[in-house]
Amino acid sequence: MPALKSAISRTLTRLVTSPALRSASRKRYALLRRLRAAPAQVHYFHQADDPYSHLAALQLEALVKRYRVELIAYLVPPPDAAAAPDSEHLRQWSARDAQRLAAHHGLNAPDFSQPFASLHTAPDSMLCQALRASGGAPVIAAKAMEQGHALRAKWGHYLGAMFYFEGEWYWGIDRLHYLEQRLHEAGLALTDERSSVVPAQALRLGDVPPLASPALRPTIHFYCSLRSPYTYLAISQVQRLAQHYGAALQIRFVLPMVMRGLPVPLAKRLYITRDAKREAERLGLPFGSIVDPVGTPTERGLALLHKAIALGRGVELAQSFLQGVFADGVDAGSDGGLLLLARRAGLSQSDVHAALQEDSWRAVAEANRTDMLSRGLWGVPSLRVNEMPAMWGQDRLWMVEQDLVHALTMHDQSLESET
């Protein structure tokens, strides 16, 4: 990437993710609200056939009981193909993921594996019931879907299960704690309760059952891309999980979605960038000085990653590359930038040169993609433990940990039964 283009990219992404500008925006919204003597409004966008929307709607009553807000709900259609390019896999994954999410949080959810038409309560009726219980103001009318769709697009989003408050978006119950934090900071809490309705999930790193043999240790399969900010957020946590539980970590790289012919609209890129920033802040990771490695920089990076894996430095190279392009503002498309990222991972200039002379990585990336798709997933980061069901997203690392503990516990119990 030319030096000028890299500099522009770094400058723009620093602005998009600037904590100072975010703080200024929040103060501006709060000032306008006070000048207008208007109530604080939380807007909720509900997609009737979306399991995550169902889980989010279950929290509406608790939300308005805790905060001095006016809740307004809208029905919205599913995202279009550009925002959700593999809708069938998304539907299947959402049902499976939401079921496990509901069980973990003790939510009274239906069987999402069944078609929504067969649920004992239709999702739009469920929304009306939730709003009546919460005292929220439902916008359920002939033009509700059209109105909700237009307003969601105007404010810059595309998904269901979305909460919007004064310039910022929060997805489902996974990001509800950020909304609550914001409402607390705005002085809108009705109680002294500081815990979230749905707390953020963190790794526990608990006790580790002993292994009789290193050959029996579990394996974490980590499907990743060098252009994914969420992969960057995940990789250090995945490494901690593997080290703590004595698991093998297998890096399974794939080409980025946009380089596989799957579009990523501007609204989606902006939301992901801002969401990744607040997640990085929560995790204590640097983020925001970005030089997009799309195209040749990613291909060169994958060639080098393939070489690094063979040399036993795959995790180090992936981490160095991802931090470089998403936090350090390194242009991986330049020879100097790629060499810097390689040396941070313990690789030499000769390693870089050798890696760039071959393209065997392409067959590996395609095999990984095919395997990922066969397990019902299409995006990264995706993970699985041994042959357990795969899961998508750095938000689900706590589930990966549960699967690791389960794998180790089952092995430990089998050992006890043999003695």
- Domains of the chain, each with CATH number or no CATH: 39-185 (3.40.30.10), 214-407 (3.40.30.10)
Helices (H), 155-265: 176-185, 229-245
Which secondary structure element, helix H or strand E, spans residue 205, and what is its range?
none
Q: How far apart are CA 399 and CA 405, in angstroms?
A: 10
- Rg of the Cα atoms in the chain: 23
Residue 140 backbone class (left: φ over 0; alpha: ψ -120 to 50; beta: rest): beta
- Of the pLDDT bands very low, low, confident and very high (cuts 50, 70, 90), residue 120 is very low
* pTM of this structure: 0.92
Strands (E), 108-238: 137-139, 162-165, 168-171, 219-224
Residue 258: per-residue pLDDT:
81
Q: Helix 335-344 crosses helix 296-310 at what angle (to 10 degrees)?
A: 30
Least confident of 189-193, 251-255, 307-311: 189-193
388 CB-contact burial (10 Å; exposed 0-12 / middle 13-18 / buried 19+) = middle
Give the pLDDT confidence of 354-373 residue by residue, as tens digits.
Answer: 999 999 999 999 999 999 99
| Residue 29 confidence (pLDDT) above 90 | yes
Per-residue confidence at 411, pLDDT binned at 50, 70, 90?
low
CB atoms within 10 A of CB 321: 32
Are residues 264 and 235 in contact, defined by beta-carbon separation less than 8 angstroms?
Answer: no
Residue 328, CA distances (Å) to 106, 224, 288, 314, 340 in order: 40, 20, 8, 19, 11
Kindly report which listed range (118-122, 176-180, 284-288, 294-298) carries the lowest average pLDDT score.
118-122
Residue 122 confidence (pLDDT) = 44
Average pLDDT of the chain, as a whole number: 91
Sheet with strand 168-171: strands edge to edge: 137-139, 70-75, 41-46, 162-165, 168-171
Place of tokens 């919205």: 76
Retrieve residue 275's tokens: 């969401």
Backbone torsions φ then ψ of 75, nearest 5 degrees: -85, 140
Percentage with pLDDT > 90 across the chain: 78
Pair 371, 252: CB distance under 8 Å: yes
Determine which of 263-272, 324-333, 336-345, 352-361 has the lowest per-residue pLDDT on average.
Answer: 263-272
Minimal CA–CA distance to 244: which of 196, 183, 203? Answer: 203
Which pLDDT belongs to residue 118? 39
Prior bond to 138 cis, omega within 30? no
How many angstroms separate the CA atoms of 344 and 338, rounded? 10
Residues 181-195, mean pLDDT to the nearest whole number: 93
Instruction: Please determine, for residue 287, whether its predicted confidence score (pLDDT) is greater than 60.
Output: yes
Token pair recorded at residue 102: 């509901």
Q: Which amino acid is at 248?
A: A
pLDDT digits (tens, 9 = 90+) for 313-330: 999 999 999 999 999 999
CA distance 41 to 38: 9
**Residue 415 above 50 pLDDT?**
no
* Predicted confidence band of residue 123 (pLDDT cuts 50, 70, 90): very low
Residue 135 confidence (pLDDT) above 70: no
Which residue type sits at 346?
Answer: G
Residue partners of 205: CB distance under 8 A and separation at least 6:
240, 241, 244, 401
Q: How confident is the model at residue 182 (pLDDT cuts 50, 70, 90)?
A: very high
* Length reported for the chain: 419
pLDDT of 109: 87
What is the tens place of the pLDDT at every residue in 41-96? 999 999 989 999 999 999 999 999 999 999 999 999 999 888 888 888 999 999 99
| pLDDT for position 142 | 45
- Residue 314 CA to residue 351 CA, distance in Å, equals 13
Integer Cα distance of 41 and 164 in angstroms: 9
What is the rounded end-to-end Cα distance, in angstroms, of the chain?
Answer: 62
Average pLDDT over residues 213-230: 92
